[in-house]
Structure 1
Amino acid sequence: MRTQIALWARFVPLPKVITAESLVLTVPDKTKRKTKEPFRREKPVQDDVGDMSREANPLGSHIYFYTHITSKRVIYSLYQNLYNNKAMKQVTFMGKKSVPEALRKDHWTPFLTASFTNPSTGLKAFQHLRELRKLHETQWDVELKSKKMKERSKILQDQRGNSIADLAAIIKRDVKEKEKVRVRWMNIYDAEYAKEWPDCVVHDVETQKGIRFHARRMGKFMGDEKEAQITASEAVPQVEEGVKAEAQIEAPKVESIPEAKPEAVPEEPKKSGFAFWR
């Protein structure tokens, strides 16, 4: 028996009833291939992303927050994607195997995107975020010093909560009165890491599905809503005036009835309050 047929005979199950046809070796036809259904991606939801041109979005209008899947370390980026040369400068040494040779894009996921109406405030916020993170990494408590190196590195690498709290504090300090900030969350419950959020912040939730390794490109954020308010206020009085005009036309005429005036009561003469005493 040939080797190929002998190997094939091992994997062929024995029939329950032995017949002449079952004794003949049947080799499957390899020319036929299984047809696979084409991969269909979900269409992105069209929402208020805004104008995505470069002229409308100068550097500093958006800050993208990326976090590591396991260690929860955070990297801030002014661009939609992470670039290795720029992002590796933000990764500090915190112990053995804490700094990789290069970033793996399948280990970093976006969890927050902050959009500013004024790009200069966005650049300031980007600088202050990196400075505050450096303070968290270098200024240790007494409890951290007493712990071992592995436990200490795990605590220091968990930067997700501190980054959100720092963002809320920076917005409260640096953003002016007329400016606004839009914070788009992948998980809205992450906003609870900050104690307070100022009134100029507009919270939003990401609607597009399937975002895992790359952040969604954001458009220009227009914080002013005066145009919508003006159009709504102008439209309402026009409708009210039309309704009043129809009511005046349809209302039947009623003859005016003179009102009955009360009859005049004669006044009593006033008595003098002066009296003689005997």
Structure 2
Amino acid sequence: MRTQLALWARFVPLPKVITAESLTLTFPDKKKRKTKEPFRREKPVQDNVGDMSREANPLGSHIYFYTHITSKRVIYSLYQNLYNAKAMKQVTFMGKKSVPEALRKDHWTPFLTASFTNPSTGLKAFQHLRELRKLHETNWDIELKSKKMRERSKILQDQRGTSIADLAAIAKRDVKENEKVRIRWMNIYDAEYAKEWPDCVVHDVETQKGIRFHARRMGRFMVDEQGVQIVTKEAVPQLGEDVKEAVPQLEEGVKKAVLRLEEGVKAEAQVEAPKVESIPEVKSEAVPEEPKKSGFAFWR
């Protein structure tokens, strides 16, 4: 077998001129393989929107509403993420295949975020929301009892409308005079599930990208002494001098046209309509009655 040195000698280029340096054995450099650079995630942009710490957002300042995309079941959370151990306690048994083994992230989506100026009011509202949902699940009507189990479970799992109506009732009862509640909607038309909203509620629209994190970035919902006042001012278009001069001329032309139309209508009304001769009455000829047939029939 050839030695490793002899194998490498085959690839050594021959020198054109024999010198002392060329007599020394030189080996070509090994080609280094190109290695891929390690994947480096880009650092998130540090925006100055607000403080997301727990000190700036105490427990109870925000309530997140999550709904199931198919059954419309609702889960309330004090955190911006759904924790499986805490959320599964709110999922009650309503029939076959109504309680999953674990929550799937692709099945639950946020549709509403309620922010309170007073965190203690938010904790009280969170407790009352869960109690009212328990009443909806256990107190059945006579019509609901008469239905089959599968139909009944579908009706009971549709909690999206009742949760919004419960939030409106709690905001009207528990929120004090100096406090406010800001509700950020994914779909503003969901607010129509409630009959009426109290004056302490401020409605806002949120996007799918930032509904879970935007509330904490904004921090606690603070209210000024004067309160929240939403004023909309519509810009009134101002007419130029040329247009103002042309307006009275247009009004005179319109008045003349109206007078001409009235005169034409009166002239048409004065024309007598042609008299129509009386149409002779046509007497209907008497139709002879057919003889009554007996109820018997003879078959041959």
Change (3 A) 1:218 1:105: farther
Task: Tell me by how many angstroms 1:155 deviates.
Answer: 0.1
SS of aligned partner of 1:271: coil
Aligned length: 278
Flag the 1:95–1:229 CA change in 2: closer, same or farther, 3 A.
closer
Contact 2:186/2:208, CA 8 A, preserved across alignment: no
Structure with more relative contact order (C-alpha pairs < 8 Å, separation 6 or more): 1
193 and 264 in structure 1: CA distance in 2 versus 1, 3 angstrom threshold:
closer
Q: Shift of the alpha carbon at 1:219?
A: 2.3
Post-superposition shift, 1:163? 0.1
Deviation of 1:12 after TM superposition, in Å, equals 44
Q: Structure 1 residues 210, 124: closer, same or farther in 2, change over 3 A?
A: closer
SS at match of 1:14: coil
CA distance in 1, matches of 2:28, 2:264: 81
Rounded to whole Å, the distance in 1 between the matches of 2:113 and 2:104 is: 20
1:237 to 248, 254, 271: 248
Note closer, same or farther for the CA distance 1:28–1:12 as it changes in structure 2 (3 Å cut).
Answer: closer
Q: Taking structure 1 as reference, are residues 272 and 195 closer, same or farther at Cα in structure 2, changes over 3 Å only?
A: closer
Aligned to 1:250, the other structure's residue is in SS state coil
Report if the CA contact (8 A) 2:115-2:215 is conserved. Answer: no
| Identity percentage of aligned residues | 91
Q: TM-score w.r.t. structure 2 length?
A: 0.58
Give the match's secondary structure for 2:227.
helix
Quick check: 1:81–1:215 contact (8 Å CA) kept in 2?
no
Q: In 1, Cα distance between the equivalents of 2:126 and 2:157?
A: 19
Q: How big is each residue's C-alpha offset from its partner over 1:96-150, in whole Å with a ceiling of 9 and x where there is no partner?
A: 0000000001100000000000000000000000000000000000110000000
Question: Residues 100 and 61 of structure 1: is their aligned pair in 2 closer, same or farther, counting only changes over 3 Å?
Answer: same
Conservation of the 8 A alpha-carbon contact between 1:180 and 1:202: yes
* Distance in 2 between residues matched to 1:51 and 1:72, nearest whole Å: 32
Give the C-alpha shift of residue 52 in structure 1: 2.5
Q: CA contact under 8 A between 2:64 and 2:212: conserved in structure 1?
A: no
Aligned mates of 2:153, 2:216 — CA distance in 1: 31
Contact 2:51–2:217 (CA under 8 A) maintained in structure 1: no
After superposition, the Cα gap between the structure-2 partners of 1:253 and 1:150, relative to the gap in structure 1 and judged at 3 Å, is closer
Aligned residues of 2:186 and 2:206 also touching (Cα < 8 A): yes
Bigger Cα Rg: 2
Aligned residue for 2:204, secondary structure, equals strand
Cα 1:211–1:266, aligned 2, differ >3 Å: closer, same or farther? closer
Compute the displacement of 1:67 (Å).
0.1
* Cα distance, 1:245 vs structure 2: 67
Matches of 1:227 and 1:242, distance apart in 2: 62
Distance 1:147 1:276 in 2: 57
Of the structure 1 ranges 27-36 and 152-161, higher mean CA displacement relative to structure 2 is found in: 27-36
Question: C-alpha displacement at 1:13, in angstroms?
Answer: 47
With 265-274 and 95-104 compared, the bigger mean Cα shift is at 265-274
1:224 Cα offset (Å): 1.8
Instruction: Answer whether contact 2:12 2:28 (CA < 8 A) is retained.
Output: no
1:137-192 CA-to-partner distances (Å, cap 9, x unmatched) read 00000110000000000000000000000000000000000000000000000000
Give the whole-Å Cα distance in 1 for the aligned partners of 2:98 and 2:299.
115
CA distance in 1: counterparts of 2:21 and 2:273, whole angstroms? 98
1:56 deviation in Å? 1.4
Q: 1:59 to 1:263 in 2, by over 3 A?
A: farther
Q: Structure 1 pair 230/35, CA: closer, same or farther in 2 (3 Å)?
A: same
Corresponding residue for 1:193?
193
Distance in 2, matches of 1:25 and 1:174, equals 93
Residues 110-189 of structure 1 correspond to what in structure 2 (within 5 A)?
110-189=110-189
> Does structure 2 conserve the Cα–Cα contact (< 8 Å) formed by 1:50 and 1:220?
no
Are the aligned partners of 2:129 and 2:163 in contact in 1 as well (CA < 8 Å)? Answer: yes
- For the residues of structure 1 that align with 2:146 and 2:175, how far apart are their CA atoms? 39
- Structure 1 unmatched ranges of 5 or more: none
Gaps of 5+ in 2: 235-245, 250-260
Report how far residue 43 of structure 1 moved: 14
> Structure 1 stretches (4+) deviating beyond 6 angstroms?
1-49, 210-216, 227-278
Mean Cα deviation higher: 49-58 or 233-242: 233-242
